Structure 1
Amino acid sequence: MTEGISTILVALDPGKSSQAVFQQALRLALFLKAQLIAISVTPRYEGNMHRWKIANADQQLSQPFIQCLEDARQEALTAGQPLRTLHAIGDPTEEIVHAAEQENAGLVLMGYPKRSTLERVFLGRTTAKVIGCSPCDVLMIPEHSAINFSRILVGIDGSRYSMEAGQRALELALAFGGEVHALTVLDIPLERSFLYGVLEEARRRSFPPLQTLAGQGERLGVKVTTEIVHGAPYDKIVKYGEKHHIDLIVLGTYGRTALGTLLMGSVVERVAAISPLPTLVVKRLGKNGVRDPL
């Protein structure tokens, strides 16, 4: 991941969580010596038949969005990090994804505010849609959290997408001197778990992907801890992160979905919505594919 990131795109809005995510984007850009671009999108005013029409609505509504970009510019100037700012009016998802494509971004950063347990069942619509549509990895940073790569948790289910996430986790751990925890969650219906050999077969199939990742970590000099648990994947991933003091969760997803959004209630969406930890969603491989040190 770190080798392929020359441009970081951070999405900002007037909220406090956005200010916090810019500070994290600034830290990361300085460390990676990457170009940093900040975008803020004013949702287009469509008017309301029950209210008076607002004259120059787009201009008035844009002021706080433009101001948050100016605040970011001043902060970047103080830190010595060049910053380019983009302001757009329209659909936030479309504009953020378009900017990521046009700027050939290697990573999109988004923040979201701390919410109640009920509100956190699902991600906000814009965040979920950006994950689904983004051409590159998306790093989501909840309010009051910070980016750290010391202890990285990656969900492994044996699919190509989860193995790509595993590669990202190894690359990050190697670059930042961290360790990787690879977790497989067996989600077997209760009624099937009583059948003879079902659990044993599921565990047997889960070992090779974990062993592959552990072997790659050993060759790279990265510590990899593996574990297999039973239950709902999103719940077990979040609880493992809390129990083992994880700093970052890494998950794979199926590229761009047919509808350009996450499936409602997917593991990725639920983990990102519920966990208090930053979550990196891996969308594609680097130019040279999965890096295997052999």
Structure 2
Amino acid sequence: MYETILVPVDESELSKRVVEQALTIAERFDSTVHAMHVVDDRGASHLSKSVNELAQDADERREIDERREEAGNELTERVAAQADERGIPVEQVVLVGDPAEAITDYAAEEDVDLIVLGAKGRSAVGKFLLGDVAGKVARHARTQVLLVRSDEA
């Protein structure tokens, strides 16, 4: 039923619950898990800056992005270790971009059968004003999406 399961992860406590859900489902259906982390690049803004300031900002941003990608690799490696302990095949991927777009695009490209991700349970107003990765993925993915709610929800 679910040959391929995509589990986007971050550093949150909720992400640990999401991974457990994904691995439990993967065990049940003999699935391959794709552990993903997306380095969010949506916050870059360079208004009213000189060329020198932009160059310095670019160097600093590159260093920050490299550290964030390394952290993403560590997160996906933790998932891979947990999957290996349970005999679950796993692939690791770290992407840079808009998280919702990266998740839905990757799921379509890799023909993923199920996306398992966390939903923070913010109010409807908060989701409308701030946007919501889980909500965007649920609306735009071409596959099944399982939202794991936080304890706070």
Shorter-chain TM-score bucket reads 0.7 to 0.9
Say whether the 8 Å CA contact 1:241–1:249 is kept in structure 2: yes
- If asked which structure has higher relative contact order (CA below 8 Å, sep 6+), I would say 2
Match of 1:190 among 44, 47, 57: 44
CA shift at 1:260, angstroms?
A: 6.6
Give how far 1:191 is off: 4.5
Task: List aligned pairs for 1:238-257, cutoff 5 A.
Answer: 238-254=104-120, 256-257=121-122
Match in the other structure for 2:147 = 281
Match of 1:161 among 7, 11, 14: 14
Displacement of 1:261:
7.3
Q: 1:214 pairs with 80, 84, 100, which one?
A: 80
Match of 1:263, SS? helix
What is aligned with 1:175? 28
Shift of residue 237 of structure 1?
0.4
Aligned residue type for 1:224:
V
- Give the whole-Å Cα distance in 2 for the aligned partners of 1:221 and 1:161: 23
TM-score, length of structure 1 as denominator length: 0.43
Asked if structure 1 preserves the Cα contact closer than 8 Å seen for 2:37 and 2:75, the reply is no
CA distance in 2, matches of 1:260, 1:232: 21
What displacement does 1:206 show? 1.6
Counterpart-to-counterpart distance in 2, 1:284 and 1:190: 29
Asked if the contact 2:38/2:72 (under 8 Å) is kept, the reply is no
Report how far residue 190 of structure 1 moved: 3.5
Whether 2:56 is the aligned partner of 1:202: answer no
Could you list the runs of 5+ residues in structure 1 that have no partner in the other structure? 1-147, 286-294
Aligned residue among 263, 266, 281 for 2:127: 263
Structure 1 ranges of 4+ moved more than 3 A = 189-193, 259-262
Distance 1:215 1:166 in 2: 12
Deviation at 1:207, TM superposition (A): 2.2
Identical-pair percentage: 26
Is the CA contact (8 Å cut-off) linking 1:184 and 1:206 kept in structure 2? yes
Greater fraction of residues in helix = 2
The answer as to whether partners of 1:162 and 1:253 remain within 8 angstroms in 2 is no
Equivalent residue for 2:3?
150
> Cα deviation per residue 1:176-228 (whole Å; 9 max; x = unaligned)?
11110011111123358723311111112222221111001001000111110
State the alpha-carbon separation in 2 of the partners of residues 262 and 250 from structure 1: 22
Deviations 1:212-265 (A, max 9, x none): 1100100100011111011100001001001111001111122x43x3777123
Specify every segment of 5 or more residues in structure 2 that has no aligned partner in the other structure, as ranges: 47-56
In the aligned structure 1, how far is the partner of 2:25 from the partner of 2:125?
26
Q: Any residues of structure 2 matched to 1:23-62 within 5 Å, and which?
A: none
Rg comparison, structure with higher value: 1
Kept after mapping to 2: 8 A contact 1:262/1:269 = no
> Aligned pair 1:231/2:97, yes or no?
yes
How far apart in 2 are the matches of 1:262 and 1:171?
Answer: 31
Distance 1:237 1:157 in 2: 13
